[in-house]
Structure 1
Amino acid sequence: MKIREISPIVLTSKEGGSATWASTMILVRVVTSDGTTGYGEAVPTLRVSQVFRAVEQVAKSLVGKDVERLERNYHDWYLQDFYLSRSFESATAISAVDIALWDLVGKELGAPLHLLLGGKFRDSVPVYANGWYRDCITPEQFAERAKELVRKGYKGLKFDPFGRYFDWIDEKGLREAEERVKAVREAVGDEVEIMIEHHGRFNANSSVEIARRLGKYNPLFMEEPVHHEDVEGYRKYRRSTNVRIALGERLISLKEALFYLREGLMDVIQPDVTNVGGVTVARKVCALAEAFGVEVAFHNAFGSVQNAVSVQLASVIPNLLLLESFYDWFPSWKRDLIFNETVVEDGHAKVTGRAGIGVSINEKLLEELEADPKTLEVKEEPVWVVQGTWK
């Protein structure tokens, strides 16, 4: 099959989710010479219009080429874009197209993605909850919401207890964070995993102090405790703490992942299939991590197509730790977009056997939600935090 058309589609609705980014989604539709349609997803954040244009530019390179030549198609864009290794917009655009091409190959062969990647290693994917603590400020609010998760069957949850602190944190902030973490740990007990989200926003000294205060609550990992690009900070954090480190959602290439792995800066890697290079690169990152003895917990925060692909990938790799899941905290239209085909039950995501990425797209809803790409408003509360917690 030949690639006939590559189109970015912005979706939005008045119904938001647990974070600012949740109200927007960027799908990429690839149509073949015989009319078959495949879908991928790109990252919105504050770059909706830029990513939209980046997808259009990728289309100029790949339209007319063979759908099935997945490795070659990625490499052809690598050849064309001199700045791919430094451009998030370019990386997420080619990632979305790559996902759609895998979707098409699966449909052509009548096989789900997990079968194309070697078959299921597990029949269901263990997930941890994120997005659940919207508007939680007090320890009591965090604790009550955490109890609800356990009642729903979740065995793991992640949250950011740091309020509006950025770069540094003082004694007041440390005390507030500890009170929240302590309340959650006491609410869920020792059998439920907790993970501490730092959003990559602290300097090394502050993150080390955080680890010393919160390590006693036995977090499964500390996520992005230091700014992503602060390699020296991560080295200091590694030398100064004994907590497990998770990072990787901002990685945009295989070779960047190799650098952090070789430096020994993580225990858990968190590649995002929508910006690391799609399925083609994500599966290589997982294999590389396996060789380094590092577990995988895919970053999975944006939309239902990303979630579907991440579930498929998570089902096949031997070194999976857990999969992040916002699924139950998506706005309902994101679940409706895929006919709610990847439900979470008892802390596990359903692995579907549908050909391609494992879900079908509600074309009627897609038409209803399509919108022009626009720049987003910038507010005091950053888009990367769960809403109502920047206090």
Structure 2
Amino acid sequence: MKITGIELSILESPYNYGIDAGNSDSRGPKYALIVQLHTDEGITGIADCDSHPHVIKAFIDAPCYISKFSEGLKYAVLGQNPFEYEKIGRAMYQSAFYQGRRGAAIHAMSAIDIAVWDIIGKATGNPVSVMLGGRNHERITAYASTLFRGTPAEMKDAVQKYRAMGFKAMKFGWGVVTQEPRKVVELVAAAREAAGSEMEIMVDGMWSADVKLVIQLVKELERHGVFFVEEPLHSDNLNGYRKLAESVDVRIACGEQLAGMYEYEQLIREGGVDVIQPDVSRMGGLTEARRLVDLAEKSGKILIPHAWTSDVLTAASLHLNAYQKHPHFQEFCTNDTPLSRELVCEPLRLEPDGTLVVPDKPGLGLELNHDVIAKYTVEHTRITDLD
């Protein structure tokens, strides 16, 4: 089997990112990228990439600047056997040597890698979780992932909404607290009052450079029984994270903005955080994510994948969670946007017990809804030849 084509579809949502008064939920990213890898045996692998689609397209489709040193990832992928995923990964890493092997370069490699694993699963008739080495779980507890509302009353309404949907846990992030970090305490207090003691609450995105302020706010949040506080500091402030983690009792989470095992190894070694949050479509794909699961377990860390775009990424993350011995949660974006739930023919659904079922069909276990893809596509490229 050989990879014969790379198809890149950039989609545009009718909504801008954020949450406005009167909206029932947050709006997702303005753009999305769907990657499809075609093979000579008629099997197609798919992936979603939670990065800037136009940038990722350039990393994949760029012409050769210096052969095997600075060129688009297509040169490392076309003509390759998808079962040789390690070989493909090394070739992509080498191809991106000069334009950078962190950040967006790793994001682009991640999308290719996820699609490769989808092909492998489909070719063997097995779910990706089986091909990763072990499908240890059939269901993963989901948490509703949404933005902070602007007032305590709106927070209470949101909690009641997610409870009625069947969620047993929820995470509020960004929104108003990015501009006014001190508001986080009253908003979380309102959420806890509405949730009672039976629902887990997570907090995301205060984002301040003031470590002492963050320590103060996190200590106040401890009184409201939050499960973790996610990225209250910039992700590269490892000294700040260690000071924070050593000063509070609540779990500190970080990782969605990192790319590649080097950065995760450094986070675990120096950051002192409790929860590692890789985004499979940003950290190196399922190949690297599987390695990180093993490293996190050996290091005594909790690993909870970040997944905030479409069902394609959520499915890949569910398979990673199924590979873990002791998974905790699956992030489930509640965005009110067609680019979250409408891109596949059978959207993922929350079960009555608050879990998501790990797809059991071959590969990622999803089929793209090509009518919806076509409806929202604003830029389409199919690569079959090298320059």
Is the 8 Å Cα contact of residues 309 and 358 (structure 1) preserved in structure 2?
no
Shift of 1:332: 3.7
Match status 1:92 vs 2:99: no
State the partner residue of 2:185.
178
Aligned counterpart in structure 2 of residue 160 of structure 1, from 127, 152, 173: 173
SS in 2 for 1:282: helix
| TM-score with structure 2 setting the length | 0.88
Superposed, 1:185-224 pairs within 5 Å as: 185-198=192-205, 200-224=207-231
Q: What is the CA–CA distance in structure 1 between the aligned matches of 2:3 and 2:332, rounded to whole Å?
A: 32
Q: CA offsets, 1:12-47, max 9 Å, x none?
A: 232567556434210111011223211111123xx3
Aligned counterpart in structure 2 of residue 228 of structure 1, from 215, 235, 242: 235
The 3 A distance-change label for structure 1 pair 351 and 201 is: same
Is the 8 Å Cα contact of residues 12 and 25 (structure 1) preserved in structure 2?
yes
Match status 1:50 vs 2:74: no
The residue identity in structure 2 corresponding to 1:350 is: V
State the partner residue of 1:251.
258
Shift of 1:232: 1.7
Aligned counterpart in structure 2 of residue 143 of structure 1, from 131, 152, 156: 156
The 3 A distance-change label for structure 1 pair 162 and 315 is: same
The residue identity in structure 2 corresponding to 1:339 is: C
Q: What is the CA–CA distance in structure 2 between the aligned matches of 1:359 and 1:303, rounded to whole Å?
A: 11
Shift of 1:119: 3.4
State the partner residue of 1:13.
13
Shift of 1:3: 1.0
Shift of 1:254: 1.2
Superposed, 1:291-306 pairs within 5 Å as: 291-306=298-313
Shift of 1:368: 2.4
Q: What is the CA–CA distance in structure 2 between the aligned matches of 1:333 and 1:80, rounded to whole Å?
A: 31
| TM-score with structure 1 setting the length | 0.87
Aligned length: 362
Superposed, 1:1-391 pairs within 5 Å as: 1-14=1-14, 19=26, 21-44=28-51, 47-56=52-61, 57-82=72-97, 86-131=101-146, 133=148, 136-160=149-173, 163=176, 165=178, 174=182, 176-198=183-205, 200-263=207-270, 265-326=272-333, 328-332=334-338, 334-346=340-352, 347-372=354-379
The residue identity in structure 2 corresponding to 1:13 is: S
The residue identity in structure 2 corresponding to 1:296 is: L
| Percentage of identical aligned residues | 28
Shift of 1:61: 2.2
Shift of 1:191: 1.2
Is the 8 Å Cα contact of residues 132 and 145 (structure 1) preserved in structure 2?
no
The residue identity in structure 1 corresponding to 2:357 is: K
Is the 8 Å Cα contact of residues 51 and 93 (structure 1) preserved in structure 2?
yes
SS in 2 for 1:195: strand
Q: What is the CA–CA distance in structure 1 between the aligned matches of 2:174 and 2:106, rounded to whole Å?
A: 30
Q: CA offsets, 1:283-312, max 9 Å, x none?
A: 111110000111111000012211111112
Shift of 1:84: 7.3
The 3 A distance-change label for structure 1 pair 113 and 161 is: closer
The 3 A distance-change label for structure 1 pair 288 and 67 is: same
Q: What is the CA–CA distance in structure 2 between the aligned matches of 1:260 and 1:359, rounded to whole Å?
A: 33
SS in 2 for 1:315: helix
Is the 8 Å Cα contact of residues 50 and 308 (structure 2) preserved in structure 1?
no
Is the 8 Å Cα contact of residues 161 and 177 (structure 1) preserved in structure 2?
no
State the partner residue of 1:376.
none
The 3 A distance-change label for structure 1 pair 6 and 161 is: closer
Is the 8 Å Cα contact of residues 8 and 55 (structure 1) preserved in structure 2?
no
Shift of 1:255: 2.0
Structure 2 segments unaligned to the other structure (5+ residues) = 18-24, 62-71, 381-387
The 3 A distance-change label for structure 1 pair 162 and 89 is: closer
The residue identity in structure 1 corresponding to 2:343 is: L
* Residue range with higher mean Cα deviation, 361-370 or 300-309: 361-370
The residue identity in structure 1 corresponding to 2:108 is: A
Structure 1 segments unaligned to the other structure (5+ residues) = 374-391
Is the 8 Å Cα contact of residues 208 and 241 (structure 1) preserved in structure 2?
yes
SS in 2 for 1:131: strand
The 3 A distance-change label for structure 1 pair 215 and 202 is: farther
Q: What is the CA–CA distance in structure 2 between the aligned matches of 1:355 and 1:339, rounded to whole Å?
A: 15
State the partner residue of 1:377.
none
Q: What is the CA–CA distance in structure 2 between the aligned matches of 1:302 and 1:70, rounded to whole Å?
A: 24
The 3 A distance-change label for structure 1 pair 83 and 142 is: farther
Q: What is the CA–CA distance in structure 2 between the aligned matches of 1:85 and 1:321, rounded to whole Å?
A: 33
SS in 2 for 1:34: coil
Shift of 1:118: 2.8
Q: What is the CA–CA distance in structure 1 between the aligned matches of 2:295 and 2:57, rounded to whole Å?
A: 31
SS in 1 for 2:223: helix
The 3 A distance-change label for structure 1 pair 177 and 333 is: closer
